[in-house]
Chains A and B, each alone.
Chain A
Amino acid sequence: MALPARAARFDVDVGPALRAVILGIGLLVSAVALLGLIGLVLTQTETGFTWAGYWQQVVSGLAQGAIFASLALALVLIYRATDVLNFAQGEMATFTTFIAWSLMNHMSYWPAFALTLVIAFVGGAAVERIIIRPVEDRPEIVVVIVTIGLLIALNGLSGWIWNPEVKAFDTPFSYGTTEIAGVVISYQDLGVLGVCLATVVLLWAFFRFTTLGLVMRAVANSQDASRLLGVRVGWMLALGWGLAAVLGAVAGMMAAPTLFLDPNLMLVVLIYSFAAAVLGGIDSPVGAVVGGLILGVLINILGTYVDFIGGELRLPAALVVLLIVLLIRPQGLFGHRVVRRV
């Protein structure tokens, strides 16, 4: 008699929101525990290891990771809607960052930032309508090659318009530092982390709570079914490209103060972001964000504490980690295993 009662207790439906919160807290706790464990190992192997220095690396890793996460999320947005990896995503971000740089010669930071996002949105949507639309019905590989063409074109174009010289890019955050529980953290890192995560949360809220967001998720799920319900799929795809371009612009403007602005600003960032998206599971927005953060922290710790990696081998090291994860979990951390009948 006791059995049904006990079963009923576990049967309580907590609702998807609460489940997401529980999952989030669980992830956070396990991430901190894992980082603590890595730190403990390092106390044994590294001479001159300090916990304060270690956590400082973690925080600046998170800031870098947030930039990867933004661009990775942009990649995932477009991939989910159209099954296409947009190789031009990084160059689109660089191009909009150049626009921001030009605007900042005429106005202060935040107005230029906001105006850049608007331009990025319109530009991203226009790219979809004008360049992607004509090849939309072709095999995915054709569209991918068009995006590679776009990468090269935008790279050349930004060098031609703004010349390839490296430029300094403003940051709205002061270069000072603050101390939290003995860990020195730069305002720059905190600001980058905050802006990127705020963008991601805003985007999530848009998709979760608005009708337009719902329609866009439906289009990503099934274009045919959406059209039968009266959805203008073409415009929804353009909207998706616009939002992806906004994410890219945020990533570009956050990366530029430390990486400096030149036409190749986002090339390496794009590779890390691809890695982050695949690590998280290429069809999972949550995965892209988590994957970006993990990758950022990982390369920072590896670069700092593993001597032979240093600064130069960070990218290869990240890709090795990626390969190991994919060997164990081919669909990525949060991705869906694709099951097809053959």
Chain B
Amino acid sequence: MNADAASHLSEHRITRIVADDDAMHASERTHLTQCDSCRQALSELTSDLEQLRRQAAKATPAPERHFVLPAAQSERHRISRRRWGWAAAGSVLSMALVAIVLWVGGNNRLPGISPTTLPVANVEDPAMIKAQTLAVNALPPAYLALSESIDGGYDKGFIDFLIPPLDDDSMS
């Protein structure tokens, strides 16, 4: 069955109907039931759009990463942070305790307790004598001279002239 060609739906109307289902008037609906040509034009456009949608969906990969709620992570972090907080507080407290104990021990020694001393080494032992000699003369003579362990022969007055001592108030 074919309706009168004069009453065919215009391209513009077909476009509107495809874009928006609500745009179709009752008279157009009636016409479509009778007109093969208009029905074909409408269904062709609709089917092309449907085909485009399907192919686009097919040509789209599936995501490999999915959304994970951040709150779940932050809950874990919160627990972990709380643990670290307790650990830090504990270590600070213990360090403070150690410091207090050392300070009290240093200033207010309890009566009857003397500081521990190492036993004096036996100076007659030849090995110890050698070790002491080495310790005293550990540096070569030139270095000892520089460090004034050996008198370098500099005149103290000359040095004072070059570098005035800080308590010199001659300039004031």
Same complex: no
Residues of A within 8 A of B (CB): none
Q: List B residues at the A interface (Cβ < 8 Å).
A: none
